[in-house]
A and B are shown apart, each in its own frame.
Chain A
């Protein structure tokens, strides 16, 4: 059972457009949702994160929208740049003893100039 689901699997946008990456989760105990960005040949790096007490988190061109009732969230990348081309992982964790971050399957974003 996949606890964190992402869609689409891949996405292509033109430079300057807004890319929207979707994520949903199953476990209602999840209360922290980081998004990691991964470039080819590198490990994932934290991009932006949100806690379940918030419904929006903004950092420059990157914004997370969070809907706790529907267990859904999305990452919006405005004014997309070719350098944003990467794989984006939605992840989730819970403060319920032990600690692990559960990753989704990723969305591969390509920004065409």
Chain B
């Protein structure tokens, strides 16, 4: 089936550094999302993105966070600077449309460890 690829699978960085998480969404999908998961628990919505713009973001999407998808390449989540509490698994997802019953396709996640 359709696959969302996330690169890298694990990233270890020092607190205060910048990190970029990369996502290659399903090829014909138009809507992109980032979710944050800590300790295999609740999936927390961060942001959704369409047509080059952030459509909606949660309180977890701090000012240090930014997203972009330049020229149809990777959909990226950048954190600058990172903090200890940013350690989590970050899941990228994509969907074809934005209706409420759209199916989200998730990647395998990037585990971010901030030391």
Q: Which residues of A contact B (CB under 8 A)?
A: 31-32, 34, 36, 40-46, 49, 51, 87, 89, 91, 93-95, 98-106, 108
> Given A49-B101, A51-B101, do A99 and B31 touch, yes or no (CB 8 Å)?
yes
Q: How large is the interface on B (under 10, 10 to 19, 20 to 34, 35 or more residues)?
A: 20 to 34
8 Å CB contact of B56 from A91, A98, A105, A108: A98
Binding stretch for chain A, among B14-22, B79-87, B103-111: B103-111
Whether, in the assembled complex, B99 has its beta carbon less than 8 Å from a beta carbon of chain A, the answer is yes
> Top 4 nearest A-B pairs by Cβ distance?
A43-B106, A103-B43, A95-B100, A98-B56
In the complex, whether B12 has a CB less than 8 A from a CB of chain A is no
From A40, A51, A89, contact of B43 by CB (8 A): A89
Closest to A45 in B: B106
Contact residues in B for A106 (Cβ distance below 8 Å): 40-43
Complex contacts, A89 vs chain B, CB 8 Å? 43
Q: List residues of chain B with CB under 8 Å of any chain A CB.
A: 4, 31, 33, 35, 40-45, 48, 55-56, 58, 91, 93, 95, 98-104, 106-109
22 residue pairs A–B, Cβ–Cβ below 8 Å? A32-B100, A32-B101, A34-B103, A34-B104, A36-B104, A41-B108, A41-B109, A42-B109, A43-B109, A44-B106, A89-B43, A91-B43, A93-B101, A95-B100, A99-B95, A100-B45, A100-B56, A103-B42, A106-B40, A106-B41, A106-B42, A108-B40
* Residue in contact with A43 in the complex, picked from B42, B91, B101, CB distance below 8 Å: B91
Nearest CB in chain A to that of B3: its residue = A43
